[in-house]
Amino acid sequence: MIDPCPSIHESAEAVVKAVAARRARHRADPAQSSLTAGAIAERVTGITLPPRAGREGWWLVGRVLDELADTEFSVWYMPGPRRIGLSRRDRPAMAAPAPPLSRPYYYDGLRRKWIDAVTGAIIADPPSMEAAGQRHESGPQAGT
């Protein structure tokens, strides 16, 4: 039997308790002794999410963002016995770097200048694309 969905009040209460537990852990840590309670509160925060059913009666109800530990936690809540749990979230995979540009320069419309794609320097007069063997889609020979 699945426990009923927790109310928004129960979800918020679970997130507040999870945040308080993480903050208390940092206050008890000797490495964080130079930080005030306010400084810890700024770096350990929580957000409430719409409840989402998990396994075995657990509901995902929020997140704890812990900048001191450089970690994000999921907050789980079991409504019947009123249990709260935290699980560390994995960091998303880093995006692959952008492929190299096919042209050595590009036009920056905001600055109205041609820019070297590698260095970012302004180019006074770039060579024509036709001379480089390339045709631009808005060039004079483009079809309409």
Same structural domain, 103 and 39: no
Same structural domain, 103 and 84: no
Same structural domain, 107 and 74: no
The whole-model pTM stands at 0.62
Its domain, for residue 51, covers 8-88
22-58 per-position pLDDT tens digit: 999 999 999 988 999 999 999 999 999 999 999 999 9
Residue 59 lies in a domain: yes
Same structural domain, 72 and 122: no
Neighbour-count burial for 97-122, b at 16+ CB within 10 Å, e otherwise: eeeeeeeebeeeeeeeeebeeeeeee
Same structural domain, 21 and 54: yes
Same structural domain, 73 and 104: no
Domain count, the chain: 2
Same structural domain, 73 and 25: yes
Residue 69 lies in a domain: yes
> pLDDT per position in the chain (144 positions), as tens?
556 899 999 999 999 999 999 999 999 999 988 999 999 999 999 999 999 999 999 999 999 999 999 999 999 999 989 999 999 998 777 665 555 557 777 778 777 888 887 788 888 776 665 555 555 555 555 555
Residue 93 lies in a domain: no
Residue 56 lies in a domain: yes
Torsion sign, CA atoms 60, 62, 66, 70 = positive
Same structural domain, 21 and 73: yes
